[in-house]
Amino acid sequence: LTGLKMDPSALQDLCDALADQDCEVLVPRLPGVAEKELESDMNALIAFFDWLGLASPVVFGCDWGAIRAFRFKMLHPKRAKYVVIENRAGNMTEKQFKEAMRKGDMNVFNSFNWFFDGALPATKDPAPGANMKAWKYKADILWPFNNGGKPDPKQVGWVSKVGVMVAKLSKGKL
């Protein structure tokens, strides 16, 4: 599942790699173009899965598509075998991240503010908001661990720390 206003072709390399592993890959273009249309996207996705006869596929989502994947699993727990999410938009250098924070641009947290009901958490160890109350599952999380544009295996940079926080809230693994 793609992010809002993201063209499905942005996932072409991933789709090709999965197809090379004999996976069947579908990238639907959901009708929603705004966060407030999440529920209509869920209705479209379940109708699409029903039409195709998909019982319990692995659901991948990046950026807002990750939120779509989480929400789908919460609404239809038996209809999604597993959830894999990716933060593509957060793949920025530490300098870009700090500049965005200095300007008060909370887009650095991207769609993942949804975990906190759309508000930036005020503490370093926040509890999830009401949006995550029904989440009882686990997810694999692909998160950019970078610090100043370099790999951050020790997870000391801010981008990495946000990823760790999202993993904790979603009972996931990075």
Residues 77-118 have pLDDT tens digits of 999 999 999 887 777 777 777 787 788 765 656 678 788 887
Domain-located, residue 66: yes
Cβ neighbourhood burial of 19 (10 Å; 0-12, 13-18, 19+): exposed
Domain-located, residue 1: no
5-63 per-position pLDDT tens digit: 889 998 999 999 999 999 999 999 999 998 899 999 999 999 999 999 999 999 999 98
User: Cα separation of 144 and 1, whole Å?
Assistant: 18
Cβ neighbourhood burial of 8 (10 Å; 0-12, 13-18, 19+): middle
Range of the domain at 139: 8-169
* The predicted structure's pLDDT at residue 174: 74
Domain-located, residue 13: yes
Number of domains composing the chain = 1
